[in-house]
Every structure is written in structure tokens, then in C-alpha cells.
Structure 1
Amino acid sequence: MQKPILPKGTRDFNSEELYKRNYIINIIKDNFLRFGFNPIETPSFERSETLLGKYGQEGERLIFKILKSGDFLKDTNVDEMKELKYSDLSPKIVDKALRYDLTVPFARYVVQNQNNITIPFKRYQIQNVWRADRPQKGRFREFLQCDADVIGSKSLMQEIDFISLFDSVFSDLKLSGCQIKINTRKLLIAICDIFDCQDKFTALTNQLDKLDKLDNEVVKANLIKAGFKQNVVNSIFDVIELSKNFTDNLELLKSYFKSSEIGTEGISDIEYIFKYFSKNNLIKSELIFDIGLARGIDYYTGVIFEVTPPKNISMGSLAGGGRYDDLTEIFGLKNMSGIGISFGLDRLFLVIEELNLFPETPINSVKVLILNFGNDFSYDLIQIANSLRKSNINTEFYPDSVSLKKQLNYANKNMIPYVLFYGEEEKENLYFNLKDMNSGNQQKLSKDQLLKVLVEN
């Protein structure tokens, strides 16, 4: 007999876990709506050319590719295919892929629907994505992303609004001490300009993106292996340290980037954002500037975000995002700047669980179980259940006529707070017998009294 087993990096969720997940999702969704975003959905998989070439070398290898449908090998010379490089083989056998994120499919959606949407276009999307990553704590191969994006506006007011959105969500989750780290890719481009190593920009962002996983010295060594000179690496890490105290070191940072037009522009962008929050404090979070923040995805062009959990929690980023100016251009729509953020539900779940911040969660949503006293009362059970449900009372009836002990045991195991006795005596005397499973108290009630007790408790 085959033993049932889940694929690596995937999970089942029981009722209690889903109640907790939905608690987080509903708070995020409420905030998205409050900030003016409307929902859309896109397919679970896209044409492979839609996704490939958008995420950089690191992201590209994590995309789940889907083999072509049908007998696609029928007219193919298998021996010739064995000699092909992977990059040449893949298009011959693959034509679709599971979505890696929600941003690229969103850009495709905007281009396809450009005549039906109003610009600037604000949307939120809460759907699963898939990555062929190595599973570990807080990292899965199938996971839910909660995204919000604005497309069609270059205003830095959007960056400020997204930082406020992060803080509003964490405030509603009662999660204090998260760090909202920001940077701009303009400064990383400027570093390569200043040291005349523009061809090493991707190597720089790929290595800086590992700073939260690897020791600084390891990243420095990797940069030198990638062709950066020792003095350049030292200078990069010096400016990273300067950036961590933006307000005090602003003039030094301006001086560092003064020879680069895009660098000066980048510092000005960060200064604009910090100026607002110097007068309008965040509620639960801390805003930090960090030039070491890179976010290795290729499509980012401006300000980028990454949110880390409170310092006493060992966990990767809880949310992230950034500005992308050229993403729709890949699909034929130019001059359409966008910016978006994404919350990682699974890591948020683990952090909130560890900090014991979830409200008391029912294991079962059922409020009352109607006990079964035999076939003579089966229609009555269904009728009573439907009557209670019309009053928004979650109701279940026991479907089989078994011993009372077994039925009460079922209610206890499922933590159903009330059971309703309705047998011959109750039917003849026109009352309902309600038992509180926690206290053991029983009450004989009219229909109106029954509704009042169940609604108020």
C-alpha cells in the first residue's frame, strides 16, 4: 500500500491554522481597501516567455516550468535533444510556468487591459505563488502572497503611502518593532558609476541581497571574486554603515554621491521620504535607510522596501517591494512607472504565533449542535437548524441516531459550546432544551429565548 506523503515545501492546513491565516489575510485585505486598492486575480500559470528573463539569475532557476501538453516528443529526435544545452532544450519541451510572483503577471494584465483600466491603477491581489526553493523555516515552495501595486504614477507620495500601509497593517496585527528598511536602486547604480564597474551591477546586487543570510566578510570575499577591487569593496561597506544613520550622515552621503547625477537623485528621493516621517511618526514600526538593501529581482529601478521582524525574532523578511519603471515596456507598453509591495503570509503567521498575538481562535465555528433522537425527528432537526442559520447562528445537527454519550462526546471534541435537545417531550411542550457544554447548565427556552441566548453568547 502506498504511503501518502506531501511534496516537499507544501502543507495542509487544519481549521485552527486557517482561522489564524484568515485573521492575518482579513487585516491585510481591510488595509488594502482602506488605502484605495481594488482586487484582481490572474491565472496560476503563465506562458513561460511572460515570466522568464524578469527575475535575474537567482530567481530564474527557482521558476517551476510546465512541460508542453500532449505527445510533444512524437516528432522530436531525442538523441539530438540530449546534446542540447539546457537554455536551448527548455523552449522545445516547456511552454508554461507556475507564477513566481504576482508582479510580473500584474504587468502583463495591465498591458492586456490598458483600454479598460483607469490610470493610475491601484490593485491588490492575494494568491499563491510557487518557487523551487530549498524548504526551511518560513520558506516554502508554495505560499500565499498579499500584494498591492500602483501603476501609472512616478510620484514619491506613493512610496510614503506604502510605508504608511506597512505600518498600518502591523499596527492592526499588534506587531511592534518591525523595521521598514528602504533604499533605492539609483544609489546602487551610482556606486557602479563612481567606481566605473557598470558591468558588475548584477553581481553587486546579487551579493548585497545575501547580507541577511551571510556574514559581511563572506559577502566581501564574494564581491572580490566577482571582480571588485578591495578598496571598492571597503568603500561600499563604509557607505552602507553611513546610511544606517541617515539623518546624522546626510551631508556625508550627499558628498559621497555628488559626482553621480543618479546618485544625487537617489539621495534626494530618500531625503524626501524621511522628511515626511520626521514630522509624521510611524505607529508600530521603525524606518531605516540601508544602502546594503538590494532586493535581487531585476525589474526594480527606484526605491525598494524590505520589512524585518522585531529584533528578538529570528526570521527572514516579512514583506518587501519597490518601484519598477520598465516592467510593462517588456510587454509593449512604455512610460508606465509602477510600485508595489508584498506581504509574506507564512512568515507573518510564524512571528505572530511566536509572540502569542493571535486572538483566541475557535477550533470549530459551530455555535450549537442539535442532538439526534431518531428518525421521527429528522425533519424537525433540519428545520430547526435552518431557522437558526437564518439568524446567523452557525448550526450543525448530528446526522445519525446514536447514543447520547457519543453525540455529546462529538460536541466536546469539536469544542461546540452548546447542544440542543429536541425530542418527544420538547416537541409536545413546545420548548427547546439548551445545554451549555462549558458550565453544564441546561435551560428550557422558547424559540425567541433560544435565539436571544445564542446570539448574545
Structure 2
Amino acid sequence: MAAKPGIPKGTRDFSPVEMAKRNYIFNTIRNVYHLYGYQQIETPSMEMLSTLMGKYGEEGDKLLFKIQNSGNYFSGLTDEELLSRDAAKLASKFCEKGLRYDLTVPFARYVVMHRDEITFPFKRYQIQPVWRADRPQKGRYREFYQCDADVVGSDSLLNEVELMQIIDQVFTQFGIRVCIKINNRKILSGIAEIIGEADKIVDITVAIDKLDKIGLENVNKELTEKGISNEAINMLQPIILLSGTNAEKLSKLKEVLAASEVGVKGVEESEYILAALENSNLQNEIELDLTLARGLNYYTGAIFEVKALDVQIGSITGGGRYDNLTGVFGMTGVSGVGISFGADRIFDVLNQLELYPKEAVNGTQLFFVNFGEKEAAFAMTVLAKVRAAGINAELYPDSAKMKKQMSYANAKNIPYVAIVGENEMNEGKVMLKNMTTGEQSLLSPEALLARIAI
């Protein structure tokens, strides 16, 4: 007996019902992006490793899926290199390409390559899969979709405000209660400066970003292992654990960071964004969270993260301001800010909370039973009118037993079944059965359309 096929860990198949749910997610996000003037682009699944490496920090580089060169990739390698078994060094020799880790770095590459075709500020969105060689666990996959929106070519903080409005509107439409967390990398840089560890800003942000996952004690342990002094760690504690309202936190930060120019700038930016959002009638809570660090190295200003309030799962949206990303591709002075919805985690949240609207998961609305060649021909004429009216409908392809055809309609949760026999054809009508109530009505094609459209 042949072995049962499988799929790689951290990947998933999706059934027709699941795809209907996923398309509901993508379409909702896409429609909101369009409301705010964003335009869609796509980039290749694979990029040159030179494009990807060094953009996500040391930990991120380890999670890149590398693609083996085609042909004789051993040519050019010495016996000494082969026998060294140095995986990283060997991979650099025969892997020139990799699967994209996110959509932001490919977008930056796109902007640089197409700069002469782009009108700035450029507002783009992108809905495509990304890959990470991570350890699979609940809510964390190796292949997953991101739904990104970015604005490049503008320094205005109104872009940050608008992105927060988009986040709020999307989750309001989904019916998911969320907390939108906001911080600023300039504030974190200021904190690192005040505690005397400015050169360790990356180590500090990577560590405190894990606070929710590993707890304060383990964060402090990691900071110690990175060579940060006990005195600096002790100074850090009351700052990252600040509580109170957003206004109270900002007021305290102004005092703490008064001697740090970059820190004060971060406080001012956060103050502007939060003040502007107070007048935006947000439906969800927005919180200044100083433990939010977003470990990616390219963020330079405001950073965001979204947590679902009614489900235990990691962040379901994130993003931030990056001032220098296109600079690594030779195009300086282009600031950008963006967000990314984690479609796969949103899928899981909507499933757990059972928030999908009925119309989003229903496929076929009307099913025609097939009694034979003449009946099928009559049904096809009605079917053409039904589809022209925008109603999803199908005819069973074979004149099978009635029980088999009705079982098919039940299995697909089709709400209406049309029955056309000799009597119905003589009258030029259709017997319509409501599969929920069991009610049957003899209707003209026009009346049938009106009934289903209700």
C-alpha cells in the first residue's frame, strides 16, 4: 500500500468553506484599503538573498527559507568547504535566492527599481503569502498570508493616524474587539540612552519585545547575557512597566527622557498621533505600551501591534515607521510607514469567535435537480437568467436518483433547490424548495428570482 501523502509542518490545506472564509477576510481588508486610496501591487515569491539578508536582524536571517541553485551547485566549492559541514557558509555558496520573509523589504526593493514610474507619496497594498523557517505552533505557521499597506515618500504623521483608522475600521467590520498598541522606537532609543546603553538598543528592544511571552525575569536574564549592566537593567524596569492612561504615561516620559533629544522627539510624535486619534471616533481601544518593541531592525519611529481581546493568540496586526529602508538599495531620503494584517491569525480568531457572516461562507445559492435531458435543457434556460441576475447557481450534471442529488445539496449547505419535472415545464414554472423551512412554491422564473433575492 502506498504511503499516505503529507504536507510540510507549518503549512495547511484549505477546503472550499475555509477558502470562502479566507476570501471574506481578504476582501474586507482590500475594500477598506481601497476606501483610503491604496493601490495593489504584487512581487515575486522569491527574492535574491542579497535583498533579504541583513534586513530582519540576526534572528530573522536564521528564519529565511533559502532556495538551492539549479544545476551543478557544487561546482566552485572546494573539498575543504564541503567537508567543513558549515551549513551557513555552504548555503551562501549555492543559494542565491530565498522565499520572502515579509512584504515590506520586497516593497522597498520594488520602490527603488520602479522609482521613475511611481508618483509619491505612493500608497500601496499587497496581499500575498510569506514564508518563515520558524517552529510551528498554535497561531504560528511557516507559510502564511500578510495583507500589507504602506505609504512611502511622506514624513507626515497623518499617515500613522490614517493607518490606525484603517486597523480600527477593519476589525470593527470583522466584529473582533481589539486593543491597538502603539509605541515609538525613538522613545526606546531615548530610554537606552538615559540608562547608559545607547549602543545596545537592538539587544534591548529584542529582549523587551518578548516580555509578554517569557516574563520580566527572563527578559532581565537575556539583557544580562547581552552584556547590559545590572544598574542599567534596574533603571529600565520602572520605565517599561509604566502604567496609567496614555496621557499619564506621556507626561511621565517627558520627565524621564528630558535629557534625551531623540527620546523627547518620540514622545512628541506619540502625543500627536494619540491626540489626532481622539477625534477619530475609534471603536477600539488604543494604548501606549512601552514594552512594545517590534524586533525588526528597520523601524525608526512609531510602531504598532494589535491584540485580540477575546482570544488567546499572538499579535494579529503589526507595523511601523521606517525611515531608512530604501537606503540599503541605494535610494536615500524616502521615509515610509506601514501595517500588516496577519490573515491566518485573523482566520483563527474569526473561527473561534464564530463571527463569519452567513453570506460570506455560503457558495451556491440555488441548486437545480436534474431529471433528464429535456428537464435539464429547460433548467439551463432558467439557470442563465438566474446567473445573469448575479445569483450563484448550479445544475446537477447527471440525472441521478433524487436522494443522491438532495444529499449533494445538503452537503454543500445550498439554501434553495429548484425542481423541474414535466408538470413544471408545461406551466413554464419551477418548484422552489426552501431547504431550511421545507416550504415549496411553484414560481415563474421572474418570481423565483425575486424570492431568492429577498
Alignment TM-score, normalising by the size of structure 2: 0.94
Structure 2 Cα separation of the partners of residues 233 and 445 of structure 1: 77
- Indicate the residue corresponding to 1:454 in structure 2: 452
- Indicate the residue corresponding to 2:232 in structure 1: 232
Residues 252, 448 of structure 1: alpha-carbon distance in 2 compared, 3 angstrom cutoff: closer
Contact 1:411/1:419 (8 A) holds in 2: yes
Residues 151, 371 of structure 1: alpha-carbon distance in 2 compared, 3 angstrom cutoff: same
Contact 1:434/1:444 (8 A) holds in 2: yes
Contact 1:171/1:283 (8 A) holds in 2: no
Structure 1 Cα separation of the partners of residues 37 and 172 of structure 2: 18
- Indicate the residue corresponding to 2:93 in structure 1: 92
2:317 pairs, out of 312, 316, 319, with 319
- Indicate the residue corresponding to 2:420 in structure 1: 422
Pair 1:118-2:119 in alignment: yes
Q: How does 1:173-252 map to 2 (within 5 A)?
A: 173-176=174-177, 178-242=178-242, 245-252=245-252
Structure 1 Cα separation of the partners of residues 359 and 382 of structure 2: 27
Displacement after TM superposition at 1:258 (Å): 1.8
Which residue identity does 2:42 align to in structure 1? E
Structure 1 Cα separation of the partners of residues 292 and 254 of structure 2: 18
Contact 1:369/1:396 (8 A) holds in 2: yes
Structure 1 Cα separation of the partners of residues 259 and 434 of structure 2: 75
- Indicate the residue corresponding to 2:334 in structure 1: 336
Q: How does 1:378-397 map to 2 (within 5 A)?
A: 378-397=376-395
Displacement after TM superposition at 1:281 (Å): 5.6
Q: How does 1:243-392 map to 2 (within 5 A)?
A: 245-278=245-278, 280=279, 282-310=281-309, 312-360=310-358, 364-392=362-390
Structure 2 Cα separation of the partners of residues 213 and 380 of structure 1: 63
Deviation string 1:94-151 (CA, Å, 9 cap, x unpaired) is 0111110000000011111111111110011111111111111111111111110000
Contact 2:21/2:360 (8 A) holds in 1: no
Which residue identity does 1:204 align to in structure 2? I
**2:91 aligns to what SS in structure 1?**
helix
- Indicate the residue corresponding to 1:28 in structure 2: 29
| Stretch moving more, 419-428 or 29-38 | 419-428
Which residue identity does 1:101 align to in structure 2? D
| Stretch moving more, 167-176 or 99-108 | 167-176
Displacement after TM superposition at 1:389 (Å): 1.2
**2:431 aligns to what SS in structure 1?**
strand
The CA RMSD over aligned residues, in Å, is 2.0
Q: How does 1:44-63 map to 2 (within 5 A)?
A: 44-63=45-64
Structure 1 Cα separation of the partners of residues 311 and 410 of structure 2: 36
Contact 2:81/2:90 (8 A) holds in 1: no
Which residue identity does 1:390 align to in structure 2? A
Residues 361, 454 of structure 1: alpha-carbon distance in 2 compared, 3 angstrom cutoff: closer
- Indicate the residue corresponding to 1:83 in structure 2: 84
Displacement after TM superposition at 1:378 (Å): 4.2
Residues 402, 78 of structure 1: alpha-carbon distance in 2 compared, 3 angstrom cutoff: farther
Residues 90, 404 of structure 1: alpha-carbon distance in 2 compared, 3 angstrom cutoff: same
Which residue identity does 1:32 align to in structure 2? Y
- Indicate the residue corresponding to 2:142 in structure 1: 141
Structure 2 Cα separation of the partners of residues 374 and 272 of structure 1: 70
**1:137 aligns to what SS in structure 2?**
coil
Structure 2 Cα separation of the partners of residues 93 and 243 of structure 1: 51
Residues 153, 373 of structure 1: alpha-carbon distance in 2 compared, 3 angstrom cutoff: same
Where do 5+ consecutive residues of structure 1 fail to align?
none
Residues 374, 216 of structure 1: alpha-carbon distance in 2 compared, 3 angstrom cutoff: same
**2:199 aligns to what SS in structure 1?**
helix
- Indicate the residue corresponding to 1:38 in structure 2: 39
Deviation string 1:245-295 (CA, Å, 9 cap, x unpaired) is 4412444322211222111211111222233234x2643222211222111
Structure 2 Cα separation of the partners of residues 243 and 332 of structure 1: 42
Displacement after TM superposition at 1:324 (Å): 0.4
Deviation string 1:149-181 (CA, Å, 9 cap, x unpaired) is 0001111111122122211222222223x2211
Residues 382, 304 of structure 1: alpha-carbon distance in 2 compared, 3 angstrom cutoff: same
Structure 1 Cα separation of the partners of residues 159 and 111 of structure 2: 18
Deviation string 1:384-427 (CA, Å, 9 cap, x unpaired) is 32232112121111111221222122222222222222233333
Which residue identity does 1:407 align to in structure 2? Q
Displacement after TM superposition at 1:444 (Å): 2.5
Structure 1 Cα separation of the partners of residues 418 and 54 of structure 2: 61
Q: How does 1:152-171 map to 2 (within 5 A)?
A: 152-171=153-172
Count of residue correspondences: 453
Displacement after TM superposition at 1:43 (Å): 0.9
Deviation string 1:63-94 (CA, Å, 9 cap, x unpaired) is 11111112222454455323264443222110
Residues 202, 74 of structure 1: alpha-carbon distance in 2 compared, 3 angstrom cutoff: same
Residues 232, 443 of structure 1: alpha-carbon distance in 2 compared, 3 angstrom cutoff: same
Displacement after TM superposition at 1:194 (Å): 2.6
Contact 1:164/1:282 (8 A) holds in 2: no
Deviation string 1:348-393 (CA, Å, 9 cap, x unpaired) is 2222333332222575411222222223444444343223211212
Contact 1:51/1:99 (8 A) holds in 2: yes
Which residue identity does 1:173 align to in structure 2? F
Contact 2:165/2:280 (8 A) holds in 1: no
Structure 1 Cα separation of the partners of residues 165 and 416 of structure 2: 43
Deviation string 1:6-33 (CA, Å, 9 cap, x unpaired) is 2111111122222222222222112111
Residues 75, 241 of structure 1: alpha-carbon distance in 2 compared, 3 angstrom cutoff: closer
Q: Percent identity?
A: 45
| Stretch moving more, 216-225 or 347-356 | 347-356
Residues 399, 167 of structure 1: alpha-carbon distance in 2 compared, 3 angstrom cutoff: same
Which residue identity does 2:354 align to in structure 1? N
